[in-house]
Structure 1
Amino acid sequence: MDYILVKKDNLVFKIQFADILYIGTNPKRPRVLRFVTDGDVYEAYGKLKDFELRLGLTFKCCHRKYLVNLRRVKAIDMETRQVLFDNSKINSIECSRRNFIGVLNEWKSL
């Protein structure tokens, strides 16, 4: 299964993993994850750790709040540890010091 069912308003969507730029936690709602794609943001219940194990090598934890799709990363700023995506409309996210080297090495090896 290479998709996830997510909710937006009263609709349920099937989102392909390849279309997801990153998965982040929702600070206002515990246990709700935000799936950021090129066109929209969707929500579903879950834990980042579960998705990290399920999605394998393509998604890497760059911060305790984010799982980033390494195939959609365009560049990584070495000074500020910002992860930039192939869609310029999506804001960059910060990588933690702890996870930075691992994310950088995994991204280089893809």
Structure 2
Amino acid sequence: MYAAQTEEAAAAEDVVAGIILLDGIRVRALFDTGASHSFIDRLFAELHGIPLVSLLHTGRVVVPDHVLDIREYSPSCPVRVGDWIMPVDLLALRKLGILTWSWAWTG
């Protein structure tokens, strides 16, 4: 189980917002150097044709007032920051719109 606190992330010194290319799509991203996992909004992935694969075991993420099940992920999704490109496994979250939280992403 993973935990996320929006208030802590918004005020943390090790969290930075920036523009990246995610599978060739320009997005505003939140970078947390202390995070153990990376996430993508399931609807965002579907709308942009980013493939999702079922996990062997369901995971959970705890955010304020919610517990979210993780059933899918995007394996080796190409993330580009400047000239740096790296394949990243992104866990797909439903409901909260991780890519559209006002403090984190604008889509």
TM-score scaled by length of structure 1: 0.28
Which structure has more strand as a fraction of its residues? Answer: 2
Bigger relative contact order (CA 8 A; separation at least 6): 2
Which structure has more helix as a fraction of its residues? Answer: 1
TM-score scaled by length of structure 2: 0.28
